[in-house]
Structure 1
Amino acid sequence: MVIKVYLSSVSSNTYMKKSQSSIIDILDMHKVNYELIDIADPTNEEQKKFMRANSKPKEEGKVPLPPQVFNGDDYCGDYEAFENALEQNTLFEFLKLESPSPKEVSKAKVTVTGAHRSEEAETAGDAQ
């Protein structure tokens, strides 16, 4: 499934703009594939209806506002839930994705021979 981020390109709300930008930046940073769906675009009226019908509004009786995050058709949450998942280091669980496998750590052994230059200089200074 692909992550879908529902956003609005037409908004004077700075909090909404920053929230949308933050989600995009974080997904890019974690190399998560996603699709942006601009609900302000008149050609996306069906997607706008879908987002509103399947998202949870902040308050009862209100319309859910962007950004809203889905994994395919499965609702993940709004910006606050995204931010909480990020803070709790559960972003991939929030996105309903498998966590990427940790990068393998090198098992190379390092052997230090001889003294470090600054140690040599200190030793030379002490000898004088």
Structure 2
Amino acid sequence: IFYLIYFESSKSSHIRKKQQEVVGFLEANKIDFKELDIAGDEDNRRWMRENVPGEKKPQNGIPLPPQIFNEEQYCGDFDSFFSAKEENIIYSFLGLAPPPGSKVSLVPHWANMIVAYHILRDSFP
């Protein structure tokens, strides 16, 4: 099961929009998930802080939602989710096999690696 870390009472429309996009994708693709609200639950907040890798935390040390986990395996934040969706590697990002008949399943695994290589290569001088 996937865990989506979110703010139930976020006043930021930017954060709410990101959360809604992740939820919409998971629901549309019938991917089971559980929402963990960090606004009103200290245990959820602590779990998120402990399980988001250090290199993925901002300078203040507190990552903003949404954060996505496959069980206890960290998948990424919204920006990583969005990039994976745009690059058509979302199922790999989530640690899932693509559904039968999807465009992703028609692309050999090595092709995704080549795309990732070019994206990374072009991102750094």
> What residue identity is the alignment partner of 1:14?
S
1:82 maps to 81
2:109 maps to none
Distance 1:65 1:53 in 2: 14
Superposition CA RMSD, Å? 1.4
Displacement over 6 Å in runs of 4+? none
1:23 maps onto 2:32 in alignment: no
Unaligned runs of 5+ in 2: 103-125
1:54 maps to 51
Deviations 1:55-100, CA, capped at 9 Å, x for gaps: 222x333310110000000000000000001001111111111111
Deviation at 1:40, TM superposition (A): 1.3
Distance 2:8 2:16 in 1: 8
TM-score of the pair, normalised by structure 1: 0.72
TM-score of the pair, normalised by structure 2: 0.74
> What residue identity is the alignment partner of 2:62?
V
Deviations 1:87-126, CA, capped at 9 Å, x for gaps: 01111111111111217xxxxxxxxxxxxxxxxxxxxxxx
Number of corresponding residues: 99
Deviation at 1:39, TM superposition (A): 1.0
Distance 1:34 1:46 in 2: 18
Structure holding more helix per residue:
2
Q: Percent identity?
A: 32
Distance 2:51 2:59 in 1: 14
Unaligned runs of 5+ in 1: 104-128
Deviation at 1:11, TM superposition (A): 1.3
Deviation at 1:37, TM superposition (A): 0.8
Q: Secondary structure at the match of 2:68?
A: strand
> What residue identity is the alignment partner of 2:33?
Y
Q: Which has the larger radius of gyration?
A: 1
> What residue identity is the alignment partner of 1:5?
L
